[in-house]
Structures are given as C-alpha cells and as structure tokens.
Structure 1
Amino acid sequence: MNPFSIIALFLIIGLVVFIHEFGHFLLAKKNGVGVIEFSIGMGPRLLSTVHKGTRYSLKWIPFGGSCLMLGDDNGIVDPDAEEITDKAHSLAEKNVWARISIIAAGPIFNFLLAFVLAVIVIGFAGSDKPYVQGVIDKYPAQEAGLEKGDLITSVNGSRVHLFREIQIYMAMNPGKSLDVTYVRDNQTHETTLVPKYDEANNTYYMGIYSGARYGLKWYETLQYGLYEVKYNVVTVIKSLGMIFTGDLPMTSFSGPVGIATTVNDMVEEVNTSMADESFSDRAMTMFLTLANFVVMISANLGVMNLLPIPALDGGRLLFLLIEAVRGKPVPKEKEAIVHIAGIIFLFIFMIFILFSDIIKIFQ
C-alpha cells in the first residue's frame, strides 16, 4: 500500500468508529451516565488526557474503540475518574429506556454519518437514477419494449430509486422473471422479461445499460441521501440472509485487511485514471470516492451492530427489550455467560475473516 492509502484507511476506520462511540458517549452524557473512558483504537494508550472525570484516549492499534461507562464493566473505574464514581451516575441505575437509547445510539449515529456523507457525495456528483441510457440488440429488454430514456420505477413490485438496485436485485435473483414498471413521456407502462444468460461472463443480463449520475435539486439530494442509506442497509441484510441460506459463501465477509485492500485499489484507480488531471480535480474525486465508500462501511457497521449477537449492541438491546417486557432484568450472571460466549464466537469469526482476506489477496 502507498502512504496515502494507509492514511486514508486509518481516517476511514477512525471516523466510522469515532462516530459510533460518540453516539454512545453523547446519549450517556445526556442521560447522566458517567463515562470513564472514551477511546479510539485498541491496546496501550498513545495519547491520553482526563477532563471532568472522563479519560479521552488515542491508542496504538488503529482499529476499534470504546466508550466505557460507569456500571457497564463490572464496576471498573479509572482512578482519575473520581467525579463520576457515585452510584447515581451508573448505567445500571438508569431506567431501561435510557439504557436502550444509549446502546442504540452507536448504530444510529453510523446511519446518520452514512446519510450526511451520502448527501455530500450526491450534492457534488449526483445520483444514479434508474434511467435507461441504452438497450442492447436482441436482448430481453429490447424485445420487451424498453427504450433509451425510460425511467424504471419498480421491479417485481419493489420500488426502485437507484440503478444499482436493479443490478443488485438481478445479482441476488439470477434468471428470475422480471415484472418491470417504467415511465415514458409521463406515462406509466408495465412489461415482463426474462434475463438472458451470458455464458462468457457467467451471469444474466436484461440488456440495458446506464451508470450515469444525474444532478438533483437540493430537496432531492436529501431524499436520495436516504435512498442511498436504505440501499446499503437492505443490501447488507439481504446478503446476510443469502450467506445463512448458503447462496453466498462466508468468504463474502471482509475485515480490516479486506477494507485496506479495497481502499488501496480505489486510491490507485483514481491516481491512474486521473493522472493527467489537476491536483484539485484528483483531490475532489478522491474525496468523493472514499466518502462514498464510508457510506457503505458506516451503514454496514450500523446493521451488523444491531444484529442480536451477544456482546454486540444488538445482543445487549435484546436483553434490554426482554427486561422492558418482563419488567425486570435478566439475571446478570446468565447475561454475562451469553455475552462471554458471544465474545468467543466473535473472536473466532474475526480470525476466520482475517485468513479469508489474506487468501483473497494471494488469489
């Protein structure tokens, strides 16, 4: 990796983790919960300072982070955090809905980050509205009557706002018959087609192409920012479903090594394709490319953290929701056993992803 790719990688991961932990931090403070330490990174502290009883740390390993709250880690406190060691500021003493808001804030802030960056990217570069830019001769789309300029609005009853939604639907439903609704000259039309298999590329094609990005009005930019977040959230949820049903391999997951490889590839692509462009144009394209990638990473992290897996935010939220329904918490010792099992599972899973990413590089 070149030096800029390494810097970009650390900035991307640092931003996504910071926003996630800041969500926990902000709602903890709003609910009067003492924050013992707010840290970015893992391992030994590189830089550290204490302010109003909270230690703020930057750690050596540039992955991960934490927002350690009073009463959230077996009562462990920092000796410098004397101002927040009283019981009234303990997370465990807050009502269940306050605790739910604090735990849910991390993933929610990841979705907010994805939305803000999506709006910025769309504001500068537009969005890939599902217009048909052209049709390929003797392919199903042409035979079904689709023409250049048609705006596809739904596929098999699912609303379509981005051209990528059509592409991902076909990738997840190869060869499936498509009921397509489209608009031409302000008139709505419907047609049905069956994608054609291409042996050379081992995939199915409708026979349309697009990929252009269209400028939007300011209010449309906000609207399409939401569509962008929705697209990433729905895609990761459907992908997870396909992994569990065996339609996608477990190696589809990527960890830090996979993210690093992707970031390096994007940086190299921009540098190569814009070698003759001005520095300002290259810098703007680089920013928009990486920002668009952060949209995906942040939305994915939000979804993954909401999964009901022990030790993740979603697992903790599940126990809190059970408490809200029962009117009393699950015994701490039983919850601890479940979370420990979750930590062991996540550790094994992370090792698997690490080796999978390394194998991908050599392949």
Structure 2
Amino acid sequence: MQIIIALIVFSVIIIIHELGHFSLARKNGVTVTEFSVGMGPRLFTIVKGDNGLSIKFFASTDTCLNRADWKEHTKYSLKLLPLGGSCMMLGEDEDVPDVNAFNNKGVWARISVIFAGPFFNFLLAFACALFIIGKVGYDKPTVDVVAKDFYTEGEGIQVGDVLKEINGSKIRVSREVGYYLAFEGCPGDSFTAKVDRNGKIVTVKSPYYKNKEGKITLPFDVAYGRVGIGPLNVIKYSAYEVKLWIEITIKSVGKMITGQVSKDEISGPVGIVDMIGDTYKESRSEGVMQVILNMLYVTIFLSANLGVMNLLPLPALDGGRLVFLFIEAVRGKPINREKEGMVHLIGLIILMGFMFFIMFNDFAKLFHR
C-alpha cells in the first residue's frame, strides 16, 4: 500500500509540473502535441478532433495520428509506468514552419511556458500548506524547555518566550530553530536572540550550551505543537511555508556543491518512495486524517524541491532553457538552435548519469539498513 501511495504522490507532483507547461502553452497559442500521464509505452490515447473523441488502445506514436494531424490536435495519453508525465510541444526542439510552433512564439511567451512548470509546483505546495495550516494551525516557536541551571532568573531565554530571531535570522516557525542549527551551526562563543516576552520584544545575548553528549547547541528547546490561526494568517503562513522550503532547498544545493553533504544524505526517486512509505507506516496508526496531513506535508517538501531543482541553470532542465531564452531576450535573437540542442543533449546525458548514480546509491542504502 505504501508503494502505491508513494507513486501517487510522486506522480501528482510531476503531473502538476507538466500541467503548468501545458496551461501556459495553450494560453500562448503553442500547439501541444501530447500531454501524457505516466511514462513508457502508451496504454491508450484520446484525441479530441473534428469528429469528436477518438480513443486508440496501445497506441504508438506513428499509428495514433499522422504528422499533419499533430498540428491540429492534442493527444492525451495514459502510459504504462505510473510515474511522472510529459508535455510535448510542436517545434520545441526543432525549427518547424508553423505559426503555433514553440520556437516561433515571442521570447517572453516561451519564457512563461518554461517557467510555468516550476511555478505550478510552488502553487501545489501552497495549496497543500493551506489545507494543513487551515486544519491544524502552525508551529509557533514558543520556548518550552530551558537547560537546567543554565540561566539565573530573568537573565536569558525563558519558558514562554516566542522566538523572533537568532543571530539576525528570522524565526517564524519552530522548525526553523532546527534548520538554523543545521545550516548555520553555533558560530562564536555566544548568540543573540530576539524574543516576544508578554508582548514586548526583548533582546537576549547568551553563551551556547554543551549538552550531555558534549555537543555545542542552543540552551533551549521550542514546542512543536500546532496553534490555530485566522484565515488571513493561514494564507500568510502557507506562503511562508513554501518560501521556507525553497530556501532550505537552495541552501541544501549549496552544501552539495561545496561538498558539505555526503552521498548518503542525497536521495533520488527510490529513496523518496522509501521515505514516503516510511512516513505512511509511521502515521497510519494515528488515523486517516493524520496520514493525509503527513502525505500533504511530504508533497509540500517534494513539490517545492522539484520546483527549485528545475530552475537550476543547468542544461536539459527548465532553468537551463530559461538561460538561453534570457540571453535571446537581451541580444534580440536566438542562439543557434543546433548548438543549443547539443548543449541540452550533453546536459541530459550527464543528468541521466547522475540519476543512475543516485538510484544505485538509493538501493545500496536500502540493502544496508
């Protein structure tokens, strides 16, 4: 069951991404030759043409529609492997003498089509956050534990304080304390925090704390319980939830580039499916609603992550395509299509090699658990 749920979550995120490309392509008059759910061989294809709906089972690219018909109608296909999807556009990777071909549209229209995929991922994350926060509230960063005998009365952080900043980093939800420690650590001998104490902002300067394991950390913990809020704040904190995950993904990529993340901390599709399955198993004893909330929370994380990763300025990714389009916008003419295609092809080969390595690493971690 957990594998099915994991595949559904993963597929929905990718389909929403492709739906972004599809929606803006149609909006800008770009012919979409095929919108498909899944990958691999087609199980069946639906074509809405002049004579109504046409359905072909086990349709191949050649037998479903002839080349001329592609310019007029969009194929909607269901494919064998229930993972992902695609949006194929006329003239996306080649010069086609058709007014509705992708490469014959204005540069800003093409930019909007490419950017729409990641943007729809952010919208999906926002919609999931709206449901979660509207249902159970947000994790208010209220101090609930202070290291015993670390402070004298009134000297430092107190139970009941609501954190606002640590060393200049804004704290809006409890989880950010853990993220701050993960990305920033404990620089220097002390830290400065701003807290809301009974409605008054108080600045506290404090030394760090060495716990029983000898680790240097903050001398307090925050509560992770959810606090209910009104409709406007639900929207505010939902938007912030998406912003937070975008920032975390960008910082994580930075750590990967600088070699601060080991290969065991990186997961691909296999690792993600395993993680979703573990989350499902851990939450099913708490009831259906808790499973739904946890799956939506996983969707926020993955959808924001996919949106950011696709915007990286790397060949074959949406971000790489946007780089070429912005260059075209600045210089007033496109870069040679063949050269651009070659760059994306090389990037795709490198990307596939990296994905193969990640998949191998995922299986290795599974077998060594």
- Supply the distance in 2 between the matched residues of 1:340 and 1:142 (Cα, whole angstroms): 65
Using the alignment, how far apart are the partners of 1:94 and 1:46 within structure 2? 32
Check if 1:217 corresponds to 2:224: no
CA spacing shift, 1:193–1:243, aligned 2, 3 Å: farther
Aligned-partner Cα distance in 1 for 2:208–2:89 = 54
If the length of structure 1 is used for normalisation, what is the TM-score? 0.90
Distance 1:154 1:142, change over 3 A: farther
Partner SS, residue 324 of structure 2: helix
Separation (CA, whole Å) in 2 of partners of 1:55 and 1:285: 38
CA deviation after TM superposition for structure 1 residue 187, in Å: 0.9
The alpha-carbon deviation at position 202 of structure 1 amounts to 5.3
Residue 308 of structure 1: SS of its match in structure 2?
Answer: coil
3-state SS of paired residue (1:88): coil
Q: Give the conservation status (yes or no) of the 8 Å contact 2:314–2:347.
A: yes
Q: How many residues were matched structurally?
A: 343
Give 1:27's match in structure 2, choosing from 24, 29, 44: 24
The TM-score normalised by the length of structure 2 is: 0.88
Which residue does the alignment assign to 1:72? 92
Superposed counterparts of 1:148-163, under 5 Å: 148-163=159-174
Residue 228 (structure 1) aligned with residue 225 (structure 2): no
The structure 1 residue matched to 2:111, chosen from 92, 100, 104, is 100
Report the equivalent of 1:293. 298
Which of 313, 321, 327 lines up with 1:316 in the alignment? 321
Q: What pairs with 1:161-200 in structure 2 (closer than 5 Å)?
A: 161-176=172-187, 177-198=190-211, 200=213
Contact 1:140 1:196 in 2 (8 A): no
In the TM superposition, residue 139 of structure 1 has moved relative to its aligned partner by 4.5
Give the equivalent residue in structure 1 for 2:264: 251
TM-align CA RMSD: 1.9
Displacement, 1:250? 3.6
Q: Does 1:265 align with 2:284?
A: no
Equivalent residue letter for 1:51: K
3-state secondary structure, aligned to 1:190: strand
1:10-159 matched pairs, under 5 angstroms: 10-52=7-49, 53-74=73-94, 87-139=98-150, 145-159=156-170
Shift of 1:203: 6.4
Q: Show structure 2 runs of 5+ residues with no match.
A: 50-72
* CA distance in 2: counterparts of 1:189 and 1:313, whole angstroms: 45
The 8 Å contact of residues 102 and 110 in structure 2, kept in 1 or not, is answered as: yes
For 2:38, give the aligned amino acid. G
Q: Distance in 1 between matches of 2:260 and 2:152?
A: 26
The CA deviation at 1:285 is 0.8
Q: Which moved more, 1:14-23 or 1:195-204?
A: 195-204
Structure 1 counterpart of 2:3, one-letter code:
I
Q: Percent identity, please.
A: 42
Stretches of structure 1 that go unaligned for 5 or more consecutive residues are 76-84, 275-281
* Aligned partner of residue 67 in structure 1, secondary structure: strand
2:28 counterpart of 1:8: no
